[in-house]
Amino acid sequence: MIALDPAQLVGTGGAIGALCRTYVSQRVDGETYPFGTLAVNVIGSFALGLVTFAGASEEIVLLLGTGACGSFTTFSSFSFETVRLVEQGESVAAATNAAANLLGSLVAIGVAWFAVRIVLG
Amino acid sequence: MSGPHQLRTLESIALIGIGGFAGSNLRYLVARVIPGLGGTLVVNIVGSFVLGFVLYEAIHAGVLAERTRVVVATGFLSSLTTYSTFGLQTALARGPVWMAANVLATYCLGFAGVLAGRALARRVDGRPGE
């Protein structure tokens, strides 16, 4: 097998992840609450959990884990949107957003772990 | 749908893809230099700061072109920062103290990064910081 350049794997996955994130957040996003970012962060955490716990090869981890899942999910948009909610006087929504992203991500990773255990035994 | 509109859409796709390629590679590079929780913390703080600057600059001054903002914010910065790796590293951290410390550090410094970016954007705009 030809050894692929890690930068190509991470970058290709990253480009795919960024485009998928743009698509999903445009489809989901509400005017009043950043559901789009929450959706990509939960879905991407689940997918990264699957790739990690399934024991995929190093190249698959670089392409799908570091590249695609890493780029699909975002922290900068999350932190910006949370600060904006506080500025707009929506402190409860901001706190809910901070908690929902964290809990959603951790629960998704836990579900991925269970799913891999059930499938792989 | 008209021709120019489709071209603009294609151009946006190309710009976001290029930004994603570069952003994910910079994150990978930082993770190799600073392995573990620290590398993820660094990219998330830096990315929050620069995104804060770029998006508040759009609100206040609007000097940067819309195209620039698409490639930098949606492509590069959102790919440089990551929530999934932060979540996974938190879940796999050595005990509840490390988990709590990682969440607190990432959240507090990430929000502080956005506010620092906002302050810088206001300075660029010539308005006093609030």
> B7: Cβ–Cβ under 8 A, 6 or more apart, which residues?
none
Collapse the DSSP code of A11 into the 3-class scheme (helix H, G, I; strand E, B; otherwise coil) and give the result.
Answer: helix
Measured CA to CA, the distance from residue A46 to residue B88 in angstroms comes to 9
DSSP-assigned states of every residue in A31-58: SSS-HHHHHHHHHHHHHHHHHHHTT--H
Q: Kindly report the nearest CA distance between residue B56 and chain A, in angstroms.
A: 10
Residue A93 half-sphere exposure toward CB, CA atoms < 13 A = 16
Alpha helices, DSSP H only, in chain A?
Answer: 6-28, 35-53, 58-60, 70-72, 76-87, 91-120
| Segment A10-68, tens digit of pLDDT | 999 999 999 999 999 889 866 788 999 999 999 999 999 999 999 999 999 999 999 99
What part of A 22-51 touches B (C-beta under 8 Å)?
A: 22, 41, 44-45, 47-49
- Can you tell me whether residue B1 is helix, strand or coil? coil
* pLDDT average, residue stretch B54-80: 87
Q: What is the pLDDT of residue A1?
A: 54
Rounded Cα gap, residues A38 and A58, in angstroms: 28
Q: What SS3 state is found at B36?
A: coil
Candidates B49, B78, B84, partner chain A, best to mutate (most A CBs within 10 A): B84
Q: Do A13 and B24 touch (CB under 8 A)?
A: yes
pLDDT of the residue at A3: 72
Nearest chain B residue to A109 by CA distance is: B88
Predicted local confidence at residue A30, as pLDDT = 66
- Choose from B46, B83, B90 for mutation: most chain A CBs within 10 A: B83
Secondary structure (DSSP) of B80-100: HS-SHHHHHHHHTSSHHHHHH
Mean pLDDT of chain A, nearest integer: 95
pTM: 0.93
Residue B45 contacts by C-beta under 8 Å, 6 or more apart in sequence?
Answer: B106, B109, B110, B112, B113
Q: Which of residues 52-71 of B touch A (CB under 8 A)?
A: 52, 55
* Partner-chain residue, chosen from B24, B31, B81, that has the shortest CB–CB distance to A11: B24
**pLDDT surpassing 50 at residue B1:** no
Cα separation, A40 vs A21, whole angstroms = 6
Name residues whose C-beta falls within 8 Å of residue B85's C-beta, 6 or more positions apart in sequence: A48, A66, A69, A70, A73, B40
Give B75-105 pLDDT, tens digit per residue: 999 999 999 999 999 999 999 999 999 999 9
Residues 73-112 of B with CB under 8 A from A: 74-75, 77-88, 90-91, 103, 106-107, 110-111
Stretch B24-28: mean pLDDT? 98
Residue scoring higher pLDDT (B4 or A116): A116
Chain centroid offset of residue A65 CA: 10
Q: A73–B83: do the CB atoms touch at under 8 Å? A: yes
Q: Compare B68 and B55 and report the one with higher pLDDT.
A: B55
Tens of pLDDT, residues A11-26: 999 999 999 999 998 8
| Rounded Cα gap, residues A72 and A76, in angstroms | 12
Residue A107 backbone class (left: φ over 0; alpha: ψ -120 to 50; beta: rest): alpha
ipTM score? 0.95
Chain B nearest-CA distance from A1, in A, is: 23
Enumerate residues 6+ apart whose C-beta is below 8 A from A44.
A17, A21, A69, A72, A73, B83, B84
Q: What is the pLDDT of residue B126?
A: 66
Amino acid, res. A58: E
| Interface touch B79/A17, C-beta < 8 Å | yes
